A = this chain, B = another copy of it.
Amino acid sequence: MSGHLAVVGLGPGDARYLTPEADAALAAAQSLYGYAPYLDRVPLRAGQSRHASDNREESARAAAALAHAAQGARVAVVSGGDPGIFAMAAAICEAIESGPESWRALDLTIVPGITAMLAVAARVGAPLGHDFCTLSLSDNLKPWELIEQRLDAAASAGFVIALYNPVSRARPWQFGAAIDRLRGHLPPSTPVIFGRSIARPDECVSVVALETADAAHADMATLVIVGSRETRVIARSGRSPLVYTPRAVAEVSA
C-alpha cells in the first residue's frame, strides 16, 4: 500500500482547456489539495475531501499531500496552468528529497497543463514563435541581482522573455525595475504583451510598446511577454493586432 500522488495542471481558468488526462486524475482522487481559487475550479465529486491553503504555503501543502498519500490514499494536488512551470511539481520534488523514505516509494504522476505563457501567446499570435526565456520575477526565493543578470543575458542574446509573477503586494517595485533594465537592451517600440485571466470572464490582454509599459499594466495574476528585436506587430483593420516572432533570423547582431 504505497499510495498515489498526482500533481495536476488545470490550464487557464476554463474547463475547455482542461485535458481529459487531468480530468481523469481529478476524478480518481480521494483527496484534493491546492490553493483555494484553483480548487474552486474543480467540480465537486461525492466522497472527495478538499484541503485548501494559501498561495504562499506551497511547501506545507506539498508535505501535507505527500504525508496523506503515504498513508495509502489517492491524492491530487492541483496547480493552475502547468504544474511544472513555477508551480507545485518542484515543491513536491523538494519535499520528497528532504522527506521520509516512504515518500520516494509513492506512485507519483505529474499531469501537464496549458501554462499561462502558451495561453497568452495564443491570444495575440505567435510571440514565442522563436527562441525565448521564461523567468520568474519573484525575488522571494532568489537574489534580485540574479534576476538582473538573467534579464541582461536573455535580452542581449535576442531571446523573447516571458515573465511570471511580475508583481505582488510584497514586491511593488521589481517589475518597473525589470522593464527599465530591458529598455537598456531593446528598442522603445519593442512589443510588450500583458495577459491575465485567459478564458475567464475577466480576461484581459493588451499590447503596448516597451517605452510605455509600466507596472500599472500588471498584477500578481498577469503574464508578461517582452518581445525581442525581431518581434513584429501586424495591424489589422477592425481586429486587434497580431504579434509574432518570425522563425528566421538573418544575421547575428553585433
Contact = CB atoms under 8 A, between A and B. Distances in A.
17 contacts: A85-B128, A89-B121, A89-B125, A89-B244, A90-B247, A93-B246, A96-B234, A96-B242, A105-B237, A112-B119, A113-B114, A133-B133, A142-B249, A143-B249, A145-B252, A152-B157, A153-B159
Q: Which of A119, A145, A150 has the most CB of B within 10 A?
A: A150
A79 to B, nearest CB: 11
A110 interface: yes
Contacts of A84: 118, 121-122, 126-129
Contacts of A80: none
Main secondary structure of the interface of A (DSSP, over half): mixed
A244 B98 CA distance: 13
B150 A244 contact: no
Interface stretch (A11-19, A31-39, A200-208): A11-19
Contact of A244 (B85, B93, B112, B114): B93
A123 B239 CA distance: 40
A11 to B, nearest CB: 7
A11 B173 CA distance: 37
A131 B134 contact: yes
Interface of A: 11, 15-21, 24, 58, 82-87, 89-94, 96-97, 104-105, 108, 110-115, 118-119, 121-123, 125-136, 141-143, 145-146, 149-150, 152-154, 156-159, 232, 234-239, 242, 244-249, 251-252
Q: How many copies does the complex hold?
A: 2
Nearest to A129: B90
B130 A19 contact: no
B125 A93 contact: yes
A58 B247 CA distance: 11
Contacts of A131: 133-136, 150
Given A19-B19, A90-B129, A143-B251, A112 B121 contact: yes
A83 B41 CA distance: 26
A122 B232 contact: no
